[in-house]
Amino acid sequence: MCTVCGCASGNVNIEGKDPHKPHSHEAGDGHTHDHTHDHHHDHTHNDGHDHDHSHSHDHSHNHVEGDDTHDYGQGPAHAHAPGLSQGRMVQIEQNILAKNNEYAAANRNFFNERGILALNLVSSPGSGKTTTLCETIKQLQNEHDCFVIEGDQQTANDAERIRETGAKAIQVNTGKGCHLDGHMVGHALGSLSPTEGSFMFIENVGNLVCPASFDLGEAHKVVVLSVTEGEDKPLKYPDMFHAADLMLLNKVDLLPHINFDVEAVVANARRVNPGIKVLKISATTGEGFDDWTSWLKATRAVAMIGRPALHEDRSADKTDINEAGSKAQSA
């Protein structure tokens, strides 16, 4: 089993990639050096601590590094007798999600360097994420490049729907996994190669629980909630609504036909996350999409602030091309 992304072999499948070929986890290669120093740990420490092993490994017994006292009373046995094996405690203080966060930080760096606005779209299954994305891309693609990473447990259906709009999309099948993680997104980015200043939409697995905990390197999480779900969803799944910066209330065209209290759902979302912004949209009628695309463009503009280098580089490229062109003409 892959210990980074949690995939059993053949489970995670990034389209166009041998699922496990590109995996080169650091933890995995740690097992390659098989040194067999086989010294027993029952030495009595009256030798002035002068182990003359030729290999220099600094085994710390019960003593803390940098501490000269050998306090064998610290062990679980609270005593020490020569030859009696006793466990030692190792303080590590490691965030369990640290590995994922490292991958996410690398992704975030990738996006920042290229002035790409990356959004992580999360929702329960069937709230209309893919339809919303298709409509969004149709409205944006004349002005901006759009790229999509589609996360689902199985099938490439969603990526195909996105590709029909003309945008470049890649499907990541998580197999038994319930969320995308930073590592999967990193690999997908390698295949997608999004252009500078583009929009990168990451459609997470339909799940209002697990994706909340896994940073992918996105600028914002956008939670999609449809009016056919309950008003209390934000209270039932507070972690997700807390993690999101924007809530898209989708399928508002159905409001006249159903019993759904918009004010209540907004109040519930704000209760969990006072800073959350709420936009009402309908992906089928296009209602509210002016606001949504305005938010997207404004957020992208904010992401581009402080990146004059990007603009200069691009204009420099153009000059180069022009110069090259005029040189070609003169020649």
Partner 1 sequence: MHEMSICEGILQVLEAESQTKNFKVVKKVFVEIGPLSGVEVEALRFSFDVVMKGSLADTAVLEVIETDAKAWCMNCNEPVIIKQRFDDCPQCGSAQIQVTSGEELAIKELEVD
Residues 66-85 that bind partner 1 (CB under 8 A): 76, 85
Which one of 17, 74, 97, 112 is in contact with partner 1 (CB under 8 A)? 97
Could you say which of 17, 20, 63, 88 contacts partner 1 (CB under 8 A)? 88
Q: What is the DSSP string of 20-68?
A: TTT---HHHHTTS--------S---S-STT----SS------SSPTT--
Q: Of residues 195, 213, 228, 293, which one binds partner 1 by CB under 8 A?
A: 213
Q: Which of 40, 55, 98, 331 binds partner 1 (CB under 8 A)?
A: 98
220-226 and 168-173 beta bridge pairing: unpaired
Q: Is 237 in a helix, a strand, or coil? A: coil
Interactions with partner 1, residue window 251-280 (CB under 8 A) = 268, 271-272
Sign of CA dihedral 107, 112, 113, 116: positive
Residue 60 in the binding site for partner 1 (CB under 8 A): yes
From the list 13, 100, 107, 136, which residue makes contact with partner 1 (rule: CB under 8 A)? 100
Using the minimum distance from each CB to partner 1, give the nearer residue, 1 or 328: 1
Closest to 253 in 3D by CA, of 232, 275, 276, 228: 228
Tell me phi and psi for residue 199, to 5 degrees: -95, 130
Q: Does residue 92 belong to the site contacting partner 1 (CB under 8 A)?
A: yes
Q: Which residues touch 153 (CB under 8 Å, ≥6 apart)?
A: 173, 174, 175, 176, 177, 178, 205
Nearer to partner 1, 6 or 206 (CB): 6
**Element spanning 220, H or E:** strand 220-226
Q: Does 239 bind partner 1 (CB under 8 A)?
A: yes
Assess contact for 125 and 208: CB atoms under 8 A.
Answer: no
Which of 44, 95, 329, 330 contacts partner 1 by CB under 8 A? 95
Question: Is residue 93 at the binding interface for partner 1, with CB under 8 A as the rule?
Answer: yes
Residue 90 interacting with partner 1 (CB under 8 A)? yes
Task: Note whether 39 binds partner 1 by CB under 8 A.
Answer: no
- Any contact of residue 154 with partner 1 (CB under 8 A)? no
Over the range 142-165, which residues count as b (16 or more CB within 10 Å of their CB) and which as e?
Answer: eebbbbbbbbbeeebebbebbbeb
Report the nearest approach of partner 1 to the CB of residue 121 (Å): 18
Q: Does 29 bind partner 1 (CB under 8 A)?
A: no
| Least distance (Å) between residue 31 CB and partner 1 | 8
Site string for partner 1, 171-210 (x = CB under 8 A): ------xxx-x---------------------------xx
What's the rounded Cα separation, in Å, for the pair 175 and 160? 18
Cα separation, 30 vs 47, whole angstroms: 32
Residues that bind partner 1 (rule: CB under 8 A) add up to a total of: 45
Contact footprint for partner 1 (CB under 8 A):
1, 3-6, 25-27, 30-31, 57, 59-60, 76, 85, 87-100, 177-179, 181, 209-210, 212-214, 235, 238-239, 242, 268, 271-272
